[in-house]
């Protein structure tokens, strides 16, 4: 049981996911939080991670750090997406166990599910057929992470929980055009196309100074700026988006995701997920003094003979609602106040055609979302405009 004094390490506390979880914990009165920037701690460096755990000795860990990006980034950096994420996960989870961390929350992604999984996707769809090729490496890394948590629980009696959020958006989102996800990329493209049409070069330069594109920034020549933006489908009063616009996507406001994650960290145990009230004693057999032997397990190999196979212990986190990419673009256009043209380039990949998740397990565990998509898009655009002045 974690208390308000428990030391909680949030890995990736500056990112979209980690910052939202950090703020949620703070809002609940958990002030003994530990975070490190990438410059302060490289999570792919095993020795550095070990030294960090030696020094800080956290009671709980939230593993929200990851190497992430959209379709373009996934296609360009396939080896990096697998290797970087595997290193981060292996280092943090193994050191958490070695240092006796009481509770660990692992953040994954619903891209773990097969490209042709039945909709909505339940947790039991995992590993039933092939993955979507465009994000295969990232998905495999995240599957390994959730299986690591599951396997540590089964072998060592740990209490590691894995949550798989759907597509996220919100404060601290990534708006860099080279590696951002669909919603922030779309929003920035529409906003810049509007500014070009209005010839608002002061605002364009502020935007480019904040988030340069391929080295082109706010001090660059107008032609340089227009040329590099055109490369990403941004022209005067016209935006070109990848794909056909027909894929369906589910989106979750990041602060809702954080609330769900913290709910699971504080209130959900592994035994709750697999429906066993006395998991540790069933698994190991408690000794006379009540302690558990963490080195010897009758359940080695991922199964407890008396209980059958235990798998798919992760938790989907989402809204259970979806819209097409075209419908999302219409919502963004309306929010930004764009009067120009949005074109879909069908020669570019769509990615998975549908990715709706079932949130029945999450609802049974006591949590439901609050922010609907139309309100969330407005809140994201407000945050983006405010970020340009910081």
Name the residues annotated as catalytic.
138
Cα angle 77-104-277, degrees, rounded to a multiple of 5: 130
Q: Is the pLDDT of residue 372 over 90?
A: yes
Return the pLDDT at 284: 39
Render pLDDT for 98-137 as a digit per residue (tens, 0 to 9).
999 999 999 999 989 998 999 999 999 999 999 988 889 9
Cα separation values, 229 from 100, 235, 266, Å: 50, 7, 45
Q: Is the pLDDT of residue 283 over 80?
A: no
Q: Is the pLDDT of residue 198 over 80?
A: yes
**How many Å is the Cα radius of gyration of the chain?**
22
Q: How confident is the model at residue 78 (pLDDT cuts 50, 70, 90)?
A: confident
Return the pLDDT at 199: 98
**pTM greater than the 0.95 cutoff:** no
**Which stretches does DSSP call E strand in 22-140?**
33-34, 60-63, 103-107
State the DSSP string of 280-328: HHHHH---TTS---SS--TTTTTEETTTEE-----EEES-S--EEHHHH
State the DSSP string of 318-338: S-S--EEHHHHHHHHHHHHT-
User: How large is the average pLDDT for residues 201-208?
Assistant: 98
Q: Which residue has better confidence, 308 or 77?
A: 308
Q: Is the pLDDT of residue 299 over 80?
A: no
Return the pLDDT at 376: 98
Nearest to 191 by CA among 389, 379, 381: 381
Residue 146 near residue 108, CB atoms below 8 Å: yes
Q: In the numeric block, which tokens belong to residue 55?
A: 């020094």
State the DSSP string of 320-385: S--EEHHHHHHHHHHHHT--SEEEEETTS----SB--B--HHHHHTT------HHHHHHHHHHHHH
Q: Is the pLDDT of residue 344 over 70?
A: yes
Q: What percent of the chain has pLDDT over 90?
A: 78
Q: How confident is the model at residue 73 (pLDDT cuts 50, 70, 90)?
A: low
Return the pLDDT at 81: 80
Return the pLDDT at 233: 97
Return the pLDDT at 355: 86
Q: Is the pLDDT of residue 68 over 80?
A: no
Residue 232 near residue 134, CB atoms below 8 Å: no
Q: Which residue has better confidence, 248 or 283?
A: 248
Q: How many residues does the chain have?
A: 390
Q: In the numeric block, which tokens belong to residue 381?
A: 């655009």
Return the pLDDT at 9: 98
Q: How confident is the model at residue 363 (pLDDT cuts 50, 70, 90)?
A: very high
User: How large is the average pLDDT for residues 297-324?
Assistant: 76
Render pLDDT for 133-185 as a digit per residue (tens, 0 to 9).
888 999 999 999 999 999 999 999 999 999 999 999 999 888 999 878 899 99
Return the pLDDT at 70: 60
- Phi, psi torsion values for 150, nearest 5 degrees: -60, -45
């Amino acid at each position: 049981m974690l208390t308000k004094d428990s030391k909680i390490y949030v890995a990736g506390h500056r990112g979209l996911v980690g910052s939202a979880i950090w703020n949620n914990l703070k809002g609940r009165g958990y002030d003994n939080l530990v975070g490190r920037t990438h410059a302060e701690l490289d999570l792919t460096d095993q020795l550095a991670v070990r030294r960090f755990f030696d020094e800080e000795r956290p009671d709980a860990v939230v593993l929200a750090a990851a190497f992430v990006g959209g379709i373009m980034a996934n296609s360009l950096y396939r080896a990096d997406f697998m290797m970087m994420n595997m290193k981060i996960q292996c280092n943090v989870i193994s050191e958490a166990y070695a240092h006796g961390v009481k509770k660990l929350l692992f953040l994954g992604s619903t891209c773990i599910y097969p490209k042709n999984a039945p909709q909505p996707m339940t947790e039991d769809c995992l590993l039933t057929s092939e993955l979507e090729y465009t994000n295969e490496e990232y998905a495999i890394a995240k599957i390994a992470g959730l299986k690591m948590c599951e396997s540590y629980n089964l072998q060592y009696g740990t209490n590691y929980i894995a949550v798989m959020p759907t597509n996220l958006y919100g404060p601290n989102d990534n708006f860099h055009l080279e590696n951002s996800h669909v919603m922030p990329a779309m929003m920035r493209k529409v906003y810049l196309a509007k500014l070009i049409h209005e010839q608002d070069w002061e605002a364009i330069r502020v935007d480019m100074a904040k988030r340069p594109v391929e080295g082109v920034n706010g001090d660059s020549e107008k032609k340089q700026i227009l040329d590099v933006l055109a490369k990403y489908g941004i022209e005067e009063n016209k935006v070109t988006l990848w794909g056909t616009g027909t894929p369906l996507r589910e989106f979750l406001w990041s602060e809702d995701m954080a609330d769900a994650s913290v709910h699971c960290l504080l209130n959900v145990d592994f035994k709750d997920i697999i429906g066993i009230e006395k998991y540790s004693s069933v698994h190991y057999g408690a000794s006379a003094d009540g302690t558990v032997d963490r080195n010897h397990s009758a359940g080695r190999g991922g199964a407890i003979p008396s209980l059958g196979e235990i798998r798919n212990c992760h938790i989907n986190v989402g809204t259970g609602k979806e819209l097409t990419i075209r419908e999302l673009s219409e919502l963004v256009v309306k929010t930004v106040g764009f009067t120009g043209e949005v074109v879909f380039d069908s020669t570019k990949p769509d990615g998975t055609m549908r990715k709706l998740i079932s949130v029945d397990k999450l609802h049974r565990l006591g949590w439901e979302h609050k922010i609907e998509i139309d309100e969330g898009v407005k809140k994201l655009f407000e945050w983006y405009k405010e970020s340009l002045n910081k």
